[in-house]
Chain A
Amino acid sequence: MSDPTVAAMALTELPTRQSFFKPHRIVLMAIAAVLVFCIVWFMRWDWVPKYSGRLVYGVGVTLMLLFVTSILGFLLAVPIGLVQVTGPWPLKMLAKVFCTVVRGTPLLLQLWLLYYGLGSLFPQFPEIRNSFLWPYLREAWPYGVAALTISFAAYEGEVMRGAFAGVPPGELEAARAYGMSPFTVFRRIWLPRAIHRALPTLNGETVLQLKATPLVATITVIDVYAVVSKVRQETYITYEPLLLLALIYLCLTALLVVGFRYFESRIPTRGA
């Protein structure tokens, strides 16, 4: 996926403070304030205190899933991107097929394939049942983490391929001329430059990953989406929990964007 598409699908920038206040915005904000007041006043929010503990726990699980799968996925994406640029052709083909298959099928299907498919296959092998992994394999979250990691690795691997290919060859030649070993070149020059190039897209991909996490609720992982679904089942309230859920995700996305902006500002760039 190209950068503009990621930016079109994931929020990657926030409004700036200057140029925010304009005359017509005061009217719009007044209307919005009335709307928010109506939502708070006329809709039912009495369930929030009762479920607040579980909601916080759910947000924690969502963030945990996001960070664990993004970091693991990124660690997988680096070799996937690298072998597509400079690798023997069997590895190149393998990485390409992996990316095509994972990006060509819905995440929900992959999740169900792992959870129901592999989950129903594992108990048939006594070796697996007797291994130390079995208590974990009976739970749902390893399958959720695996599916989200694989998906992130495939999308980000494609981004890293472009980033590795885009590092100017002169810089790599210069590093080699200094007598650096191939691994040193990779560690000092190639990888940092590629990550620098990939960072804006990484921001968008991470927001997309956040938007993908609620799918794990369909395999009984209790994230914030699952907590809200539970609230809806128990209280028969249709809209209020969903609105709160949308607000929570909006805040989480904003936090991610702010975090990435901080990282990007830390990296020195050559400015005119």
Chain B
Amino acid sequence: MADAGSLINWSLLALDPPGWGGVLLGGLWQSVQIAIGGYALGLVLGTGGAMGKLYGGPVTKDLLEVYTTLVRAVPELVLILILYYAGTDVLNRLSSAAGWGPVDISGLAAGIFVIGVVQGAYSTEVLRGAIKAVPAGQIEAARAYGMSPLQIMRRITLPAMLPHAIPGLSNLWLIATKDTALLAVVGFSELTLVTRQAAGSTKAYLLFFCAAGALYLMITLVSNVLIGFIERHYRRGMPETVR
């Protein structure tokens, strides 16, 4: 059975049902949705977290420190399990306490939630570093002009920190796309899990895992091109050698 022709059966990758190509692309779409959603949630949490860590009161700072320390010290896989079970459990108890009965939480929402919480801690640290790189004089000048903290944020801090934050944030985006694979362990049918199912039922393990790898690599490479454009746009006018 091990002759070269039968080792690669390309028709297994066909888009229509006897082939599994459509299923893989469906999984890819799920992965991309979770990555985008989780990354966006992470950015929101991260912006808040960085602000809290830099300008919050002592209690806020400490609580955020505990959050980022825990997420940075415990494996994503363990966090995803804890958040996945605890999150759905808490939601169910809340809704039954409110008298709505058990709610059906979509896997997509749960996945976005867990990836978002993990990404939130990472982007807190990245954004905190970037905000600290903004010269203090610029923020003092804005304050001297009488701008409110929100205006300072919108007009000075955010635009000035972006060039410093983009390398870190783009790395985090790539991490988010790869972390979606971990959701396979809790049984969410994203790209890695559907690949394993396809491989398991056809026994063409190498073919399917390589195909999925190519899809992930494609996300990374396309992202790298886009990141290059964004970086060039936001770094214009900055000295070249800063990196």
B-contact bits for A198-235, CB 8 A (1 contact / 0 none): 00000000010011111100100000010000000000
Q: Assess the A25–B62 pair: CB atoms within 8 A.
A: yes
Determine if B221 is an interface residue (Cβ-Cβ < 8 Å): yes
User: Is A267's CB within 8 Å of the partner chain B?
Assistant: no
A106 at the binding interface (Cβ < 8 Å)? yes
Considering the complex, give the chain B residue whose CB is closest to the CB of A250.
Answer: B73
With beta carbons under 8 angstroms apart, the residue of B81, B126, B178, B200 that contacts A5 is B126
Residue in A24, A215, A245, A249 whose beta carbon sits within 8 Å of that of B73 in the complex: A249
Please measure, in the bound complex, the distance between the C-alpha atom of A254 and the C-alpha atom of B150, giving whole angstroms.
37
A212 B86 Cβ-Cβ under 8 A? no
- Contact status A108-B181, CB under 8 Å: yes
Whole-angstrom CA separation of A239 from B83 in the bound complex = 10
Closest chain B CB from A28 CB (angstroms):
6
Determine the chain B residues whose CB is within 8 A of the CB of A225 once the complex forms. 75, 77-78
Let me know if A130 is at the binding interface, CB within 8 A.
no
Contact B85 A249 (CB under 8 A): no
Residues on B with C-beta less than 8 A from A5 are 122, 126, 167-168, 171-172
Contact B209 A113 (CB under 8 A): yes
Chain B residues with CB below 8 A from A101, complex form: 213, 217
Contact partner, B62, options A24, A108, A113, A116, Cβ 8 Å? A24
Of all chain A residues, which has the CB nearest B191?
A109
Give the secondary structure class of A's interface: helix
A207 to B126, CA, bound (A): 17
Residues of A within 8 A of B77 (CB): 214-215, 225
Enumerate chain A residues within 8 angstroms of B69, measured Cβ to Cβ.
11
Instruction: Point out the residue from A1, A105, A120, A218 that lies within 8 Å of B171, measured CB to CB.
Output: A1
The prevalent SS among residues of B at the interface is: helix
In the complex with contacts A2-B168, A116-B199, A214-B75 CB distance below 8 A: yes
State A7–B124 Cα separation when bound (angstroms): 11
Interface flag for A266 (CB, 8 Å): no
Cα–Cα distance between A110 and B209 once the two chains are bound (Å): 8
Which residue of A9, A116, A121 is within 8 Å of B175 (Cβ)? A9
A210: B residues at CB distance < 8 A: 75
Determine the residue in chain B with the shortest Cβ distance to A32. Answer: B66
Question: Would you call A109 and B213 a contact (CB within 8 A)?
Answer: yes
Task: Count CB-based A-B contacts (< 8 Å).
Answer: 156
The interface bits of chain B over 56-87 (1 if a CB of A lies within 8 angstroms of the residue's CB, else 0) are 00110011000001101111111101100110
A16 to B59, CA, bound (A): 18
CB within 8 A of B78: which of A25, A28, A103, A246?
A: A246
Q: Does B74 lie within 8 Å of A106, measured CB to CB?
A: no
Pick from B62, B78, B122, B196: contact of A112, CB below 8 A: B196
Q: Counting CB contacts under 8 A, is B47 at the interface? A: no
B23 on the A face (CB < 8 A): no
| Contact in complex: A10, B1 (CB < 8 Å) | no
Instruction: Check: B238 CB closer than 8 A to any chain A CB.
Output: no
Most buried by A among B72, B126, B174, B180: B72
Closest chain B residue to A238 by CB distance?
B85
Residue on A nearest B217 in the bound complex, by CB: A104
Residue B230 lies at the interface, judged by CB distance under 8 Å to chain A: no
Please tell me if the beta carbons of B220 and A104 are within 8 angstroms of each other in the complex.
yes
Whole-angstrom distance from the CB of A152 to the nearest CB of chain B? 15
Contact A249 B125 (CB under 8 A): no
- Which A residues contact B (CB, under 8 angstroms)? 1-2, 4-5, 7-11, 22, 24-25, 28, 100-101, 103-110, 112-113, 116-121, 124-125, 207, 210-215, 218, 225, 238-239, 242-243, 245-246, 249-250, 253-254
Residues of B that sit less than 8 Å from A by CB: 1-2, 58-59, 62-63, 69-70, 72-79, 81-82, 85-86, 89, 122-126, 129, 167-168, 171-172, 174-175, 178-182, 184-185, 192, 195-196, 199-200, 203, 205-206, 209-210, 212-213, 216-217, 219-221
Interface pairs (15), CB distance under 8 Å: A4-B125, A4-B168, A5-B172, A8-B125, A8-B168, A22-B58, A28-B62, A108-B182, A112-B192, A225-B77, A238-B85, A242-B81, A245-B78, A246-B74, A246-B82
Question: Which 9 residue pairs across A and B have the least CB separation, nearest first?
Answer: A8-B125, A106-B181, A104-B220, A113-B209, A253-B73, A117-B206, A211-B75, A5-B171, A11-B72
Q: Told that A5-B126, A101-B217, A106-B181 touch, could you supply 8 new A-B pairs with CB distance under 8 A?
A: A4-B129, A9-B72, A103-B174, A109-B212, A112-B192, A116-B199, A120-B206, A212-B75
